[in-house]
A and B are shown apart, each in its own frame.
Chain A
């Protein structure tokens, strides 16, 4: 394969996951240097290959949207943030997305933590490092971190933070917490 010269930057990615409407795109937008971009994928599952051909023109095409942003870390390194599709029925896309990711942020709406259970399960099962960020709507945090940890049955090893997805500094701190977790896990001593 023809490889690009030194002018193309290295790229890494972090996933921003969580339930539907929990603030994923807001978070991506808060820290991204570009307005979050969206790509739409037509849904292709094994079944679609053998779909009936009758009336195919009338069939409503179904797509799954993927929002993402970019942070230039250095001249030669770019970080991409991908918001995972919120609806659980699109979980199959997460596998592709998770491949090669540094780790993930699971956003939680403490008023309805249940909506982020699937995301937590996904990363726990695949042993993908993640932090949990409780997005306080209107910047309010009615529950302390320990209550959130307990409600989500999270082990001590998983960092839980309070955040405001609308605030750049707050989102940056969540991302730094994830990188600190990765660095701690990578350190040859400790743990």
Chain B
């Protein structure tokens, strides 16, 4: 965590979002999976370069945190851009497994345990 911008970005992150600092919807978590719609919908407006970068990165399903790391952008910025893409019908979204203390999913836990056991 050095000062300045080690990534050498030419623009400050929130310039990419048109100055927006809050997403238009709150359903993107760090481990929400996003996938580009294939084929992309035909629209008159072409996606902006940053949107295109995201679409390229999520041709295969990818979690929001991973996407942000690959794009070298803060998660909060990526989420705002993802909202645009979702509203434009360019991506699909899969929320993470719901986790509650009151009704734990034993099958899910057993599956995680089995998977870890194979490591």
Give A contacts to B, CB under 8 Å: 1-5, 7-13, 31, 37-42, 44, 60-61, 63-66, 68, 70-74, 77-80, 82, 96-97, 99-102, 127, 129, 168-169, 172, 175-176, 179-180, 182-183, 185-187
Contact = CB atoms under 8 A, between A and B. Distances in A.
B97 A12 contact: yes
A38 B69 contact: yes
A12 B93 contact: no
Given A41-B75, A179-B113, A183-B106, A9 B92 contact: no
Q: Helix, strand, loop or mixed for chain A's interface? A: mixed
Given A7-B61, A38-B69, A61-B5, A82 B30 contact: yes
Contacts, number: 149
Q: Helix, strand, loop or mixed for chain B's interface? A: mixed
B21 to A, nearest CB: 7
A12 B115 CA distance: 13
B11 interface: no
A13 B96 contact: yes
Contacts of A31: 119
Interface of B: 1, 3-5, 13, 21, 27, 29-35, 37, 61, 63, 65-66, 68-70, 74-76, 86, 89, 91-94, 96-99, 101, 104, 106, 108-117, 119
Contact of A70 (B66, B104, B117): B66
B119 A172 contact: yes
Nearest to A48: B21
A54 to B, nearest CB: 17
A73 B93 CA distance: 20
